[in-house]
Amino acid sequence: MNDTTDPRFTVLGGRPGKIVAVHLSYGSRADQRGRRPASPSYFFKPSSSLAPSGAEIVRPAGTELLAFEGEIALVIGEPARWVTPDAAWSHVASVTAANDFGLYDLRANDKGSNVRSKGGDGYTPLGPALIDARQVDPTALRLRTWVDGELVQDDTTARLIFSLAQIVADLSQHFTLETGDVILTGTPAGSSVVMPGQVVEVQVDAENHSTGRLRTTVVEGERSFDAAVGSLPAVDDTQRTEAWGSAEAAAAGALAAARDHAETAPRAAEQPVPADASPLSPTLRDKLSRVPVAALSGQLRKRGLNDVTIDGVHALTLGSRFVGTARTLRFLPHREDLFAARGGGQNAQKRAFDAVEEGEVLVIEARGERGSGTLGDILAIRAHARGAAAIVTDGGVRDAEAVAAVGIPVFTAGPHPAVLGRRHVPWETDVAVGCGGTTVEPGDILVGDGDGVIVIPPAMAEEVVDAALAQEEEDAWIARQVASGHPVEGLFPMNAEWRARFENERQN
């Protein structure tokens, strides 16, 4: 396929020599960012980033901040070198719509060059039609952008900080603008993050002329970046705020993304936990709520299960008790490059707290590492709001007093003031984990009280709890006998005589 038949270059009639983009040019965008440049600044985009109207753009796996930027694109006709602003527009052949997509997850690593953050395949859709530049007033072009049919950007070139002619003239001072070169002239306020499944449309109008709507659909990618090859995605609150457009939008967007992930992300293939297949019926939950962990431990031991206690964890609040099914979160030991790749954004930790369901216990594998917190008060509030039954972590808890005040049972190895990234990398959710020396699978039944936390395989839960309830009845009867003055010899455990008396009283 040559350049004249490549669909990426159809609207231009061939591959452009270069694509130059302006960092900041609209007054509305400058006001949003809180900075107004004295002169324009630029970056290059590869021609391989071009895409036609109707194309898809892939958000790579493991990233979260793919943002659109509706823009007006200029296509150079007559080559321009050292032209004045008055003469500059005569060197522009055409005007069209563009979308300058950017992946903010990679922006910090590029430090303004935007090579990786804006150079990806399909990151520069153009079209669908050209407007003859000779037939329009460059100071009266209108730019609009829609996301899923909702108008999100609407501005005109009359409100540019730097006119289109000035941009062409300025660039021509530094290098020759050649026939077919493309200039992306910046985006107004309203640029924000888009998710897989959303559709972005951009249109440029001038008097009686229009480009029509440039349409791009966002899809989720299957491949992620390789740490062994180059820099990995990394985001922070600054990147989120700038990608979404404001701190408020970033917070709301992160929550929406988490909800979307919780609704659409598949559980681990080896341990599916269907939403309608909970092993913990209301009747079974009620029975378990009436049995001490010690009694359950004794019954499990009789059945050959000795390694079912989560050791080394204690209730953050005295008197805490819970019953629930396991939802799991796994941390790996801290490594700087891995934390940079997986510690930010809507990472595994945040996804787990946003996905935990009513009656579930969030079980965190922290390898018994107490040298940092594995959650704090904000995440505890989130789990409580979701209706979680409890949180169990064999690591530390930050903001321990505030966490305790939330009201959700939390069992932990102890308080610690340090943040997660001091010791851990949030890695994955909904897989088998090792917590406090025992294995916990998603869907396992957990019970906790002042004695600790125990894990019950769902298949034997009914048998174990019924036996424990019977044993509790027997132990209560024995306790009454001892309290009334009888010695424990022959009574605890009961010999045949005492057993007969017990059975007789129970039946009567």
- pLDDT digit string (tens) for 218-227? 999 988 877 6
| Residue 153: Cβ within 10 Å count | 24
What is the model's pLDDT at position 447?
97
What is the model's pLDDT at position 291?
93
What is the model's pLDDT at position 112?
74
Q: In the structure, what pLDDT confidence band is assigned to residue 273 with cuts at 50, 70 and 90?
A: very low
Q: How far is residue 445's CA from residue 461's CA, in Å, rounded to a whole number? A: 8
What is the model's pLDDT at position 278?
65
Cβ atoms of residues 458 and 374 within 8 Å: no
What DSSP line would sit under 307-332, residue for residue?
A: S-EETT-EESSTT--EEEEEEEEEEE
What is the model's pLDDT at position 260?
53
Please check the confidence at residue 37 and state whether its pLDDT lies above 60: yes
In this prediction, residues 64-85 reach a mean pLDDT of: 96
What is the model's pLDDT at position 18?
97
What is the model's pLDDT at position 264?
46
Whether 267-459 and 7-262 are alike in CATH topology: the answer is no
In this prediction, residues 152-165 reach a mean pLDDT of: 96
pLDDT-wise least confident of 187-191, 257-261, 383-387: 257-261
CATH architecture of 7-262: Alpha-Beta Complex (3.90)
Q: How far is residue 142's CA from residue 127's CA, in Å, rounded to a whole number? A: 15
Q: How far is residue 459's CA from residue 446's CA, in Å, rounded to a whole number? A: 13
5 burial class (0-12, 13-18, 19+ CB within 10 angstroms)? exposed
What is the model's pLDDT at position 252?
66
Q: In the structure, what pLDDT confidence band is assigned to residue 111 with cuts at 50, 70 and 90?
A: confident
- pLDDT digit string (tens) for 301-328? 999 999 999 999 999 999 999 999 999 9
In this prediction, residues 34-40 reach a mean pLDDT of: 91
In this prediction, residues 387-416 reach a mean pLDDT of: 96
What is the model's pLDDT at position 57?
96
Q: In the structure, what pLDDT confidence band is assigned to residue 498 with cuts at 50, 70 and 90?
A: confident
Query: What percent of the chain has a predicted confidence (pLDDT) above 70?
Result: 93
Please check the confidence at residue 481 and state whether its pLDDT lies above 90: no
- pLDDT digit string (tens) for 290-301? 999 999 999 999
Please check the confidence at residue 277 and state whether its pLDDT lies above 60: no
In this prediction, residues 23-49 reach a mean pLDDT of: 93
Contacts of 298 (CB under 8 A, 6+ apart): 468, 471
- The strand pair at 70-76 and 182-184 is best described as antiparallel
Chain-centroid distance, C-alpha 195: 11
Cβ atoms of residues 56 and 217 within 8 Å: yes
Please tell me which residue, 1 or 165, carries the higher pLDDT value.
165
CATH architecture of 267-459: 3-Layer(bba) Sandwich (3.50)
Q: How far is residue 410's CA from residue 380's CA, in Å, rounded to a whole number? A: 9
What is the model's pLDDT at position 2?
65
Rounded mean pLDDT of the chain?
90
Please check the confidence at residue 267 and state whether its pLDDT lies above 50: no
In this prediction, residues 39-62 reach a mean pLDDT of: 95
What is the model's pLDDT at position 363?
97
What is the model's pLDDT at position 276?
43
Q: How far is residue 491's CA from residue 443's CA, in Å, rounded to a whole number? A: 39
In this prediction, residues 467-477 reach a mean pLDDT of: 85
| pTM for this prediction | 0.56
What is the model's pLDDT at position 292?
94
Please check the confidence at residue 12 and state whether its pLDDT lies above 70: yes
In this prediction, residues 347-376 reach a mean pLDDT of: 94
Q: In the structure, what pLDDT confidence band is assigned to residue 148 with cuts at 50, 70 and 90?
A: very high
Please check the confidence at residue 234 and state whether its pLDDT lies above 90: no
Give domain limits for the chain.
7-262, 267-459, 464-507
